[in-house]
Amino acid sequence: MTHEERYNLALEISEKLSREMKDNLICFCLYGSTSRGTDTHWSDLEMLMITREGVPKKAFLEGLVPVTTNSITEKRLCGILEEPGVEWPFYAGLVKNLVVLDGDVSKPAQYYDLACRVPEEKFTRALKSNLSELVFESCGRIFSCIARKRYEDIYCAVIETLLEMKTALCLLNCTHVNHDYFEGLQESFKFKKLPERYPVLATKMWKTRDQFCIAKNSRELIRNYLYLLKSEEII
């Protein structure tokens, strides 16, 4: 499916579902690679319905293209954006980059303004309350895999560790990234508050498949991460 075909499909789905939901729909939005124009023939199609009352998401295949129409109520979305938790970085980046296909085109900017007005103390509180769920278990899994000689599982633990650390650093820096996976990780390299040598160590961990290099860099990164948390009085 070409970009034009994928975009036109999004418009068709938007028109159909908007008619079905009537006044329940606030806005029907496109996001992901199709909204940015970076989709390929193998890309999926991701859309979001922001509604007054909850509706189920819809997922199906169009040919071999996965199509997902997620939904969230405005009340829940505003709650996530105003009271940060582990979901805040994702949704803040999401609303900043939404493309409205139907409904109130001013809404994404209003939601993003909510996210930008959150005071720093709320982010600090969110990071402290969610600290045990981020980084430590997944990083420990790297060394558990080595101890159990389950070397084929190490890289999954590395990815979990780095993506969770990105989330933690978003909360620490009161900001978000705009992309997934390594591109999003690279965005976090520009944050003001970072573990020492974070860009270098995270890049090496992401790219290497050597278990000894992963173990060495993981130890240094988690040590530097702990030092950062202590210096910021998070722990």
Q: What is the pLDDT of residues 50-62, one digit of tens each?
A: 999 999 999 999 9
Domain of residue 73: give its range.
3-116
Residue 63 sits in the same domain as residue 166: no
Q: What are phi and psi of 211, to 5 degrees?
A: -65, -35
CATH of the domain at 131: 1.20.120
CATH of the domain at 61: 3.30.460.10
**Mean pLDDT score of the chain, rounded to an integer?**
96
Last residue of a domain, one of 116, 144, 177: 116
What region, left, alpha or beta, does residue 140 occupy, with left being phi > 0 and alpha being psi -120 to 50 degrees? alpha
Residue 109 sits in the same domain as residue 83: yes
Residue 42 sits in the same domain as residue 106: yes
Q: Rounded to two decimals, what is the model's pTM?
A: 0.94
Residue 51's pLDDT is 98
* Residues 201-208, mean pLDDT to the nearest whole number: 97
Residue 183's pLDDT is 96
Residue 128 sits in the same domain as residue 48: no
* Residues 16-34, mean pLDDT to the nearest whole number: 95
CB atoms within 10 A of CB 146: 18
3-state SS class at 82: helix
Residues 87-107 as b/e (b if ≥16 CB within 10 A, e otherwise) read: bbbbbbbbbbbbbbbbbeeeb
